[in-house]
C-alpha cells in the first residue's frame, strides 16, 4: 500500500496506562496529539503517515511525466488537477505526522537519506499515455482500498486527513478508468496499448498491499491500535474482486492464467506477485528508484534559495512593521 511493511515499535510503559489507552481505542475514541500515547504508537504512526505522505509526493513524478504530452488540452488540465491533488494529499499527511512531534524538514531529510520509504509502485515507469490510465484505475484504486478503512483510524489528525483524501481520490480513479475506456474502445493499436499497460501494472499494483501479514506481530500490534484496519491479504482480495469485472467491461484480460472465480469463498483465486521483485524494488533496485530520488533531491536543493529567500523577506517585513509602530 502507500505505507508498506511498516514495522511497529515495541512499547515499554506502565501497563496500567497502556490498558487505559487500549480501552479508549477499543471504545472507538480518537486519540489527539497532546494526549498521552505509548511511545511505540507515536513512532509507528510517524513512520506510517510519513511513508504515506512521501508516497503522495513521489507519486506525482510518474504522472507529471505526461502532463506536457497529454493528448488533449482537457486531458492535460485534468491530469494537472490530479497531480496537484497529490501534492495536497502529501501536505495533509505531513501535517498529521508533524502533530506527533517530528518536523517537516526531518521528514524530508529522512526520505532523501533513504531512511524512510515510499510505496514501491512509484518506482515503475509510465511509458505511454495508457499508463496514465492504468495508474489512475489500478494504483489509485488500490490506494482507495486501503484509505477508506483508514478514515476510521484511531489517531484524530490521521483520520481527518484520510477523510479529506478519500473525498478527492475517487475523481482520480475515475479519470484513470475514463482514459482506459477511451483507449479500449479506440483503434486496435490503442486497445493493445491499454492491454499492455494493464499487463505491466497488474502485479506491481497487487504488490502495493505488501506481502501477506497474517502471521506478523507488527501487523497485530498496529491492528490493535487501529492504525491498520485490514490485513494485506484481505485488501488485496477485495481489490482483485473489484477490479476483474472492471477489466471485463473494458474487454481487457488480467495477465494471470490462474485467475478464476471461486464460488466457495465468493471471490477470485489469483496468482501472487513475484515477491522477490518487490523486495528488490524496496531495497532500491526497481526500474526508477534512482530517478525518483534524484528528482526529489534536486527539487529540495534547487528550492533551498527560494525557501530561505521568502523567509528572509518575511523577517525583513516584520522588522519594518515593528519599526514603523
Partner 1 sequence: MSSEWPLWEIFIRGQHGLNHRHVGSLHAPDAEMAVKHARDVYTRRNEGVSIWVVPSSAITASSPSDKGPLFDPSNSKVYRHPTFFDIPEEVGKM
Q: Which residues bind partner 1 (CB under 8 A)?
A: 32, 34-36, 81, 84-85, 88, 91-92, 95, 98, 103-105, 160-161, 164, 168, 307-308, 310-314, 317-318
Residue placing its CB nearer to partner 1 in the complex, 245 or 309: 309
Residue placing its CB nearer to partner 1 in the complex, 88 or 251: 88
User: Cβ 171 to partner 1, closest distance in Å?
Assistant: 9
Residue placing its CB nearer to partner 1 in the complex, 32 or 39: 32
User: Cβ 34 to partner 1, closest distance in Å?
Assistant: 5
Per the DSSP assignment, residues forming a β-bridge with 262 are 267
User: Cβ 29 to partner 1, closest distance in Å?
Assistant: 12
C-alpha cell belonging to residue 133: 490510465
Residue placing its CB nearer to partner 1 in the complex, 49 or 198: 49
User: Cβ 310 to partner 1, closest distance in Å?
Assistant: 4
**Euclidean distance between CA atoms 282 and 181, whole angstroms:** 32
User: Cβ 167 to partner 1, closest distance in Å?
Assistant: 8
The answer to whether the Cα torsion of 34, 157, 1, 222 is positive or negative is positive
**Euclidean distance between CA atoms 57 and 118, whole angstroms:** 9
Listing DSSP states for 62-121 in one string gives: HHHTTGGG-SSHHHHHHHHHHHHHHHHHHHHHHHHHHTTT--HHHHHHHHHTTSS---GG
**Euclidean distance between CA atoms 182 and 191, whole angstroms:** 9
Query: What are the backbone angles phi and psi of residue 108, rounded to the nearest 5°?
Result: -60, -45
Residue placing its CB nearer to partner 1 in the complex, 93 or 282: 93
Amino acid at each position: 500500500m502507500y505505507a508498506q511493511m511498516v514495522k511497529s515499535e515495541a512499547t515499554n510503559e506502565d501497563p496500567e496506562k497502556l490498558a487505559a489507552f487500549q480501552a479508549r481505542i477499543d471504545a472507538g475514541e480518537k486519540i489527539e496529539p497532546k494526549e498521552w500515547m505509548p511511545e511505540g504508537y507515536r513512532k509507528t504512526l510517524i513512520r506510517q503517515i510519513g511513508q504515506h505522505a512521501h508516497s503522495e509526493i513521489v507519486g506525482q513524478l510518474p504522472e507529471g511525466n505526461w502532463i506536457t504530452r497529454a493528448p488533449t488540452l482537457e486531458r492535460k488540465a485534468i491530469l494537472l488537477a490530479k497531480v496537484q491533488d497529490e501534492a495536497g494529499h502529501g501536505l495533509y499527511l505531513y501535517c498529521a505526522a508533524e502533530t506527533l512531534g517530528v518536523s517537516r524538514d526531518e521528514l524530508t531529510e529522512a526520505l532523501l537519506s533513504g531512511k524512510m520509504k515510499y510505496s514501491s509502485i512509484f518506482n515503475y515507469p509510465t511509458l505511454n499515455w495508457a499508463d496514465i490510465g492504468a495508474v489512475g484505475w489500478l494504483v489509485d484504486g488500490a490506494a482507495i482500498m486501503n484509505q477508506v478503512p483508514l478514515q476510521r483510524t484511531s489517531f484524530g489528525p490521521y483520520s481527518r486527513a484520510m477523510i479529506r483524501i478519500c473525498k478527492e481520490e475517487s475523481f482520480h480513479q475515475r479519470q484513470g478508468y475514463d482514459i482506459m475506456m477511451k483507449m479500449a474502445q479506440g483503434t486496435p493499436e490503442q486497445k493493445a496499448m491499454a492491454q499492455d499497460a494493464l499487463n505491466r501494472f497488474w502485479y506491481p499494483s497487487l504488490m502495493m498491499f505488501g506481502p501477506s501479514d497474517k502471521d506478523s506481530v507488527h501487523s497485530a500490534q498496529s491492528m490493535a491500535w487501529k492504525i491498520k484496519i485490514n490485513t494485506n491479504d484481505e485488501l488485496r482480495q477485495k481489490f482483485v474482486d473489484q477490479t476483474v469485472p472492471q477489466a471485463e467491461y473494458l474487454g481487457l484480460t488480467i495477465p494471470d492464467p490462474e485467475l478464476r472465480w471461486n464460488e466457495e469463498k465468493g471471490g477470485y483465486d489469483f496468482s501472487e506477485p513475484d515477491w522477490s521483485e518487490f523486495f528488490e524494488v524496496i531495497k532500491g533496485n526497481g526500474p526508477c528508484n534512482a530517478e525518483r530520488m534524484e528528482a526529489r533531491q534536486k527539487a529540495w536543493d534547487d528550492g533551498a534559495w527560494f525557501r530561505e529567500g521568502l523567509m528572509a523577506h518575511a523577517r525583513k517585513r516584520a522588522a519594518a512593521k515593528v519599526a514603523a509602530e
